[in-house]
Structure 1
Amino acid sequence: MTRRISWTLLVLTSVLLVLAVVPLAVLMTGRERVTYRDSQRSATRVIAAAAEEHLSDHKPALTMRRELAAAARAGDCAAVYDASAHLVASTPCTAAQGEEAVELVRDVLAGHEPEPPESEGRLLAAEPAGEVRRPAGAAVLARSAAPLDARIAAIWGWSAVIGVAGLAASMVLSVRLARWVGRPLSVLDASARRLGEGALDERADVGSGPPEVRRLAGTFNTMAARTEALVHGHRAVIADVSHQLRTPLAALRLRLDVLATGAEDGIAAELAAAQEEIARLSRLVDGLLAVARAEQATPRPTAVRTEAVVAERVAAWSPVAEERGVRLAAVSGGPSPVVASGAGHLEQILDNLIANAVEAVDEDGSVTLDVRSEGDFARVRVRDDGPGMTAEAKEVAFRRFGNREARGTGLGLAIVHRLVTVNGGTARLEDTPGGGLTVELRLPLWRESGSGQGGATKILTGSEEDVSEFPSADGTA
């Protein structure tokens, strides 16, 4: 914006200066030429008047020669011609005696007013001696055009200086104006970006810039304060619900354990079934809380090396997979991409996907994780050779309890989808060639210049951050 405003004002000022300075310089140049010509013609008339006394009245040529001498001292060349265009007297220089001067004299003697020509850097002027219709002769004055050219050059030079000074002043003022307008907007943009990245206490500066920008900053601060209060309120509600639900569930489970001790076989079986329902309810509560926390997530992106996180999660889930007789492996398609993701989010995403895949495949099945870069994104695929999903199930799989065929709570993929999208990525489901389900994630690559985190360069590998903020929803979709 600063550059656009500056260039716009600079172009506008340039146009105004051209429209003002150039016509003024042209006008002054024309006036200077007229003044110079009038001065030359006045000097020529003086010589012509002295020549008339000699040519018409036959007086001594003393006055005429005195005027010619004065013209010579002034640096001019002058000559006097009689009615037959014959040279009568002249200054030592011969610039007023050439063919052009003679032609000019003949035109004057014939009663014409020719346009004075320029010869060899000198301007010629001719005036009749006596009456215009019947002149007794003519006087010719040749004056150097150098003074006139110098004055004209000075006029254009000063005009150029004025134009450049005006452009410089305009540039300074336009840059200051553009910064006055653009800098608060840039600060407001940065504040909005940081607020979107999770800094809920971020506020914009309302003390600089135009009134409209200050009002916009004030409105932004009001919105940010309300958003912060709303998010904190939701987090408080989740914390209260978590405490209020988990505590009675734990107490109920302990009481069932006590009742099951020493109970008869029939009653013990009923109590065991009740304990299973209590455990299922606990998992459901944990899953709902995890989804709610994921939906409220406003992550601050950090640089996460995907290959290290994938290797760590594969190692963590390998014992579970071996126990179920499932082959769990990771493959790499080149250099490890570094993605921009909230701390712990990629670990939570992979935990839910691996848990779902391991639970879905039969014994001797396989689960494969594939990571590679594609343009500005990193593609992460989790493939299994299990039963897969129907087209109807895939359409609703990312919704809460959307998949009625799920063996667990049906919240795992909802958490995955929320965490992927909140980090600027996408998630989709497709069939695995040969049978099974493939979950494909596209996560944005880390760009330090556009991260908005003050140039942070710490790269997380998964083991450096606590990932317990979003607990797994029992490991199944």
Structure 2
Amino acid sequence: MTRRIALTVLALVTVLLTLAVVPLGVLLEAREETSFRASAQADAQQVAAAAEETLSDHRSDTSMLQLLAAAGARGDCAVVYDSAARVVARTPCREATGDVPGLVAATLAHPRTSSERTGDRLTVATPVGDIQDVSGVTLLVRSVDPLNDRIWAVWGWLALIAVLGLLAGTFVSVRLARWVGSPLHAVDEAAQRLGEGALEVRAQAGQGPQEVRRLAATFNTMAARTEALVHGHRTVLADVSHQLRTPLAALRLRLDLLAGDVDGDALQELAGAQEEIARLSRLVDGLLAVARAESTVPTPVPVPVDAAVAERLAAWEPVAAERGVSLSAHGGQGQTVSLGAGDLEQVLDNLVANALDAVPEGGAVRIEAAATSGLAGQAAVELRVVDNGPGMTSRAQQSAFRRFGNPEAGGTGLGLAIVHRLVTANGGAARLEDTPGGGLTVVLDLPRRRPGHSRSGSRQQPPD
């Protein structure tokens, strides 16, 4: 952003300088040329006035010769012609190139002062005498080198002013860009660190424009409230964990002791009670797992997809073999995702467990992984857990990621909720699809690890 602001301001300054300097330079150049022509015509008319005293009034030519000498001293060439186009007097220099006789004849025929630029010289023709009684013509030839020098000097000064203005504009644009962009960059970095789990991070709220300061202050307020909520949630989780697990464990132990002293119908009732206690324990563990996924912010670490999938397949293979279900994996070689430590393993455990519970004997569960663009065009790995079980109705799919949202679930109904919380907490996405031919496919878009982006750390969990 800093670079864009600087380049935008610099481009605006450049355009303004161009629009100001170029027309001004053209105007000054035209003004210098007009002034140069007027000066040459004035000098030629002075010589013509002195020549008129000699040619028309037949006075002494002293004044005319003095003006011719002065013109020669300035580097000009001046020639006085009579009405017959004969040379009366001249300075000792070469006349102008071009059609001089034609210019003289045209001036005698149509008495008026005219100027003509040929190469590096300006020729001015001025009639001598009145328009009704022209007694001759005066030619003044002047080099345009002084004019060119002045024009170059004008453009040089304008170029220097433009360069200084551009340098000043560059300095102002860079300072402005840093003044606006640096605080925004600091807020962006703080937001990234907050998203990675550093709940204590805060942004500097005393720099930049007033709007950026308000943004930083609002971010700090949000971060403080988030930190308070997360820490409070963790405290509640710790209390719930101890308050529920301890009496459940004690109750299970007492039921186990009672089971050794009874038989018959009482033993069956105790066995049923033990199963309900075990189910309640699993339900509590599931609720705590969902709450942890919601209240904690993972610190991403690089996780090789193929290694994690192979490890979980090896762990679940005995269960699948016992139930007569085929368990396989395809793809994912060389793909690395950026997730919290242990999150991918927990996600795979829940998905494979759900699939094995749903697939009948002789069915199949397959895990597929492939690189994809993911959400908003970001690099991602698409992980698919495909089964050919009974599937799930569209209504059940819409609520499957909520706690106890699936009325068709045979277990606690928390497995997909845990998966959804873990995936979304890591910046991914989860959805359900029907498997072609029957069954359910869980599709996960997991953020791919960026090249050169490696951070170590783990998800902070509340104490149990």
Q: TM-score, normalised by structure 2?
A: 0.89
What is residue 145 of structure 1 aligned with on the other side?
144
Alignment of 1:459-474 (within 5 A): none
Q: Is the 8 A contact 2:237 2:291 kept in 1?
A: yes
**How many residues of Structure 1 are paired with residues of Structure 2 in the alignment?**
459
The reply to whether residue 20 of structure 1 matches residue 20 of structure 2 is yes
**Do structure 1's residue 442 and structure 2's residue 449 form an aligned pair?**
no
Aligned Cα RMSD in Å? 2.9
Instruction: Label 1:22 to 1:120 Cα distance change in 2 as closer, same or farther (>3 A).
Output: closer
Q: Helix, strand or coil: the match of 1:116?
A: strand
Instruction: Tell me the SS of whatever aligns to 1:81.
Output: strand
Counterparts in 2 of 1:381 and 1:59: CA distance versus 1, 3 Å: closer
Distance 2:303 2:31 in 1: 76
- Percent identity over the alignment? 57
Whichever residue aligns with residue 416 of structure 1, its letter is V
Q: Distance in 1 between matches of 2:102 and 2:372?
A: 87
SS class of match (2:367): strand
Q: Is the contact between residue 294 and residue 470 of structure 1 (CA under 8 Å) also seen in structure 2?
A: no
Deviation at 1:310, TM superposition (A): 0.6
1:445 Cα deviation after fit: 1.9
Aligned-partner SS, 1:315: helix
Deviation at 1:63, TM superposition (A): 4.2
1:341-385 alpha-carbon deviations (Å, 9 max, x no partner)? 222111001111122223333445443322233343322222334
Asked if the contact 1:348/1:470 (under 8 Å) is kept, the reply is no
Of 153-162 and 44-53, more deviation after overlay is shown by 44-53
Q: 1:348 aligns with which of 346, 349, 354?
A: 346
- Structure 1 window deviating more from structure 2 (80-89 vs 237-246): it is 80-89
Alignment partner of 2:423 out of 420, 424, 439: 420
> Contact 1:448–1:457 at 8 Å: present in 2 too?
no
Superposition pairs of residues 30-429 of structure 1, within 5 angstroms: 30-95=30-95, 100-106=99-105, 108-109=107-108, 112-131=111-130, 133-322=132-321, 324-333=322-331, 335-375=333-373, 376-429=379-432
Q: Distance in 2 between matches of 1:431 and 1:250?
A: 40
Distance 1:344 1:5 in 2: 42
Instruction: Please give the per-residue CA displacement for 1:244-302, whole angstroms capped at 9, x wherever unaligned.
Output: 11112222222223333323533333223222222221111111111111222322222
Check whether the contact 2:113–2:127 (CA below 8 A) recurs between aligned residues: no
Residue 347 of structure 1 aligns with an amino acid whose one-letter code is E
2:442 maps to amino acid: V
Paired with 2:66 and 2:438, the residues of 1 have a C-alpha distance of 122
**Partner Cα distance (2:363, 2:98) in 1:** 114
User: What are structure 2's unaligned runs of at least 5 residues?
Assistant: 374-378
**Deviation readout 1:85-110 (Å, 9 max, x if unpaired):** 322122232415x7744444445555
CA distance in 2, matches of 1:40, 1:288: 101
CA separation of 1:366 and 1:132: change in aligned 2, threshold 3 A: closer
Aligned AA (1:4)? R
Moved more, 115-124 or 42-51: 42-51
With normalisation by structure 1, the TM-score equals 0.86
User: Secondary structure of 1:124's partner?
Assistant: strand
- Separation in structure 2 between the aligned mates of residue 309 and residue 99 of structure 1, nearest angstrom: 94
Aligned amino acid, residue 279 of structure 2? R
Task: Name the aligned partner's letter for residue 358 of structure 2.
Answer: A
1:341 counterpart letter in structure 2: L
Q: Which moved more, 1:399-408 or 1:298-307?
A: 399-408
3-state secondary structure, aligned to 1:198: coil
Cα distance change, pair 67–313 in 1 and its aligned pair in 2 (3 A)? same
SS of residue matched to 1:117: strand
